[in-house]
Structure 1
Amino acid sequence: MKRTALKIGYIGTNFHGFQRQPDLRTVEEELIYHLRKLDYIDDLKKSRFRIAGRTDAGVHSLGNVISFQSEKEVQVNEINNSLPNDIKILAKAPVRYAFKPRYAQMRQYRYLLFDDLDIDKLNECADLFKGTHNFTNFTKRFQKTTTRTIDEIRITKVDLDDYHKREFPNLHDTISPIFVDIYGESFLWNMVRKMMRVFVDVARGKMELGEVERLLNPAEGEPRSNIKVMDAEYLILMDIQYDGIRFEYDQYACERFKRDLISSLNDYQKRYAIRESMIKCLNELM
C-alpha cells in the first residue's frame, strides 16, 4: 500500500471553506467523494487521509496538500476527470508512511490589494512583521501558543501585461493589484487577513507604526485587540513545501486548470460589460 501526497488547486468562491461541514459544499468533501468513487480510498481512518490546511470560505489555493495511502496507483488526470472544474489536482509526490501534511517547512500566502496604497508605508509595515512575534491579536480563537515566525514578506505592484490588455480590454481602467506574499512555517486562523487590515490602515495613514509594534508585543494580561479581517476572496494559499519532498507537477493538469481560470475570467468580463453599459446609460439619463 503506497502513500501519496497531492497538491490541490481550487477556486474558493463556491466552497464553504476546505474542512468538511454538514450539508455544505467544501473542498475536502469533494475530494473524499471522488477519491472514494474512483476506489482510491474507502475508510478514511484506514487510508490515513490527512490535510495540510483548512482554508476559510472564499479562499483560493494553488498549493494546499492532502495525503492518503491506497493500493491503487494514483493517476492525477483520472481524478481530475471526475472532479468539478473549480478544483483540480496539480501535482503528486510519494511520501513515507508517517508523513503528516500539516507539518510543513514553509507556507506561502498571497493577498491581493486593489486600492491605490503607499508602497513605501506597506514595506515599512512589512518590516515590523518579519521575525518571531506574539500574534495573539491576529487570530480569531484562543490557542495554546500564538507565537509564529514570518520568514519573508514581499510586496509587488503588478502592471497589467499586454496579454490582459489584449484579451480583456475592459480591464484597462482597473487599478493594478498589489501582491503581498507572506512566507512562514505556520499561521494562525485569520492571521494573514488580520495582518492585511493593519497593512492597509498603515498605508492609508490610519495607524502609526508604533501601534503596530504594540499589537505584535502585547503586555501580559492585556485584552486582545479586535482587528477586523479583510475579505477572504482576495487570499490565495500559493504553496506548501516540505523538507525532502519534491512534488511532480502534471503539465496537462496545470494547463487544464489554467484554461478553467481563463474561462471564468471571460465570464467576469461579460458581467463587467453589462454593469459598465448600465452605468453609462444612467449617466446619459441624468
Structure 2
Amino acid sequence: MKRTALKIGYIGTNFHGFQRQPDVRTVEEELIYHLRKLGYIDDLKKSRFRIAGRTDAGVHSLGNVISFQSDKEVQVNEINNSLPDDIQILAKAPVRYAFKPRYAQMRQYRYLLFQDLDIDKLNKVAEIFKGTHNFTNFTKRFQKTTTRTIDDIKITKVELGDYHKREFPNLHETIAPIFVDIYGESFLWNMVRKMMRVFVDVSLDKMSLDEVCELLNPSENSPRANIKVMEAEYLILMDIEYDGIKFKYDEYACRRFKRDLVDSLDNLQKRYAIRESMIKSLDDLI
C-alpha cells in the first residue's frame, strides 16, 4: 500500500470552502467522492486521508495538498477526468507513511488588490509584518498560540498583458491588480485577509504605521481589535512546500486547468458585455 500526496488546483467561487460540511458543496467532499468512486480509497480512517489546509468559501488554490494511501497506483488524469472542471489534480509525490500535509515547510498566499494604492506605503507595511509576531488581532478564533512568523512579503504591481488587452478590450479602463505574496510556515484563520485590510487602510491614510505596530504587539489584557476581513474571492493559496518532498507536475493536467480558466474568462467577458449594454441602454433612456 503506497502513500501519495496530491496538489490540488480549484476555483473557489462555487464552493463553501474546502472542509466537508453537511448539505453544501465543498472541495474536500468532491475529492473524497471521486476518489471513492474510482477505487482509490474506501474507509477514510484506513486510507489515512489528510489535508493541508482548510480554505474559506470563495478562496482559490493552485497548491493545496491532500494525502492518502491506496493499493491502486494513482493516475492523475484518471482522477481529473472524473472531477468537475473547477477542481483538478496538478501534481503528485510519493510520501512516507507518517506524512501529514498539515505540517508544511512553507505556504505561499497571494492576495489581489484592485484599488489605486501607494506601493511605497504597502512596502513599508510589509516590512513591519515580516518576522515573528503575536497575530491575535488577525484571527477570529481564540487559539493556544497566535504567534506566527512571516518569512517574506512581495508587492508587485501587475501590468495588463497584450493577451488581456486583445481578448478583453475593456480591461484598459480598469486598475491593474497589485499582487501581495505572503510566505510563512503556517497562518491563522482569516489572518491573511485581515492583514490585507491593514495594508489597504495604511495606503489610504486610514491607519498609521505606529498603529500597525501596536496591533502586532498587543498588551496582555487589551481587547481584540475589530479588523474587518477583506473579500475571500481575491485570495489564492499559491503553493505549499515540504522538506525533502518534490512534487511532479503533470503537464497535461496543468494545460487542461489553464484551458478551463481561459474558458471561464471568456464567459465572464460575455456577462460583462451584457451588463455594459444594459447600463448604456439605461443611460440612453435617461
Counterpart secondary structure, 1:17? coil
Residues 94-105 of structure 1 mapped to structure 2, 5 A cutoff? 94-105=94-105
- Whether the aligned pair in 2 keeps the contact of 1:49 and 1:69 (CA below 8 Å) is yes
Identity %: 85
Judge conservation of contact 1:170–1:272 (CA < 8 Å) in 2. no
User: In the alignment, is the contact (CA less than 8 A) between 1:170 and 1:269 conserved in 2?
Assistant: no
- What residue number does 1:107 align with? 107
Residue 193 of structure 1 aligns with an amino acid whose one-letter code is R
Number of residue pairs aligned between Structure 1 and Structure 2: 286
Is 2:141 the partner of 1:141? yes
Which residue in the other structure is 2:245 paired with?
A: 245
8 Å contact 1:7–1:65 — kept in the other structure? yes
For structure 1, the 5+ residue unaligned runs are none
Following the alignment from structure 1 to structure 2, what is the Cα–Cα distance between the partners of residues 283 and 205? Answer: 35
Q: Following superposition, which runs of at least 4 residues in structure 1 exceed 3 angstroms of deviation?
A: none
- Secondary structure of 1:254 counterpart: helix
> Match of 1:33?
33
Distance 2:13 2:66 in 1: 20
Q: CA shift at 1:285, angstroms?
A: 2.3
| Residue of structure 2 equivalent to 1:14 | 14
Q: String of CA shifts for 1:95-131, please: whole Å, max 9, x gaps.
A: 0000000000000000000000011111111110000
The residue type paired with residue 96 of structure 2 is R
Unaligned runs of 5+ in 2: none
Q: Residue 132 of structure 1 aligns with which residue?
A: 132
1:283 CA drift (Å): 2.2
Residue 266 of structure 1 corresponds to which residue in structure 2? Answer: 266
Q: What CA distance in whole angstroms lies between the structure 2 residues aligned with 1:271 and 1:123?
A: 35
User: What are the Cα deviations for residues 208-265 of structure 1, in whole angstroms up to 9, with x where unaligned?
Assistant: 0000000000011111001000000000000000000000000000000001000110
> Structure 1 residue 281: deviation in Å?
1.8
Question: Does 1:284 find its partner at 2:284?
Answer: yes
Residue by residue over 1:35-89, the C-alpha shift from the partner in whole angstroms, topping out at 9 and shown as x without a partner, is 0000000000000000000000000000000000000000000000000000000
Residue of structure 1 in register with 2:184 after alignment: 184
Residue identity in the other structure for 2:34 = H
- The AA in structure 2 aligned to 1:176 is A
2:30 and 2:101 map into 1 onto residues whose CA distance is 19
In structure 2, the partner of 1:228 is 228
TM-score by length of 1: 0.99
Normalising to structure 2: TM-score of the pair?
A: 0.99
Q: For the Cα contact (< 8 Å) 1:170–1:273, is it kept in 2? A: no
Distance of 1:93 and 1:109 partners within structure 2: 21
Pairwise mapping of residues 47-86 of structure 1 onto structure 2 (< 5 A)? Answer: 47-86=47-86
Residue 120 of structure 2 aligns to a residue whose secondary structure is helix
Q: For 2:40, give the aligned amino acid.
A: Y
The residue that corresponds to 2:175 in the other structure is 175
| Letter aligned with residue 55 of structure 1 | T
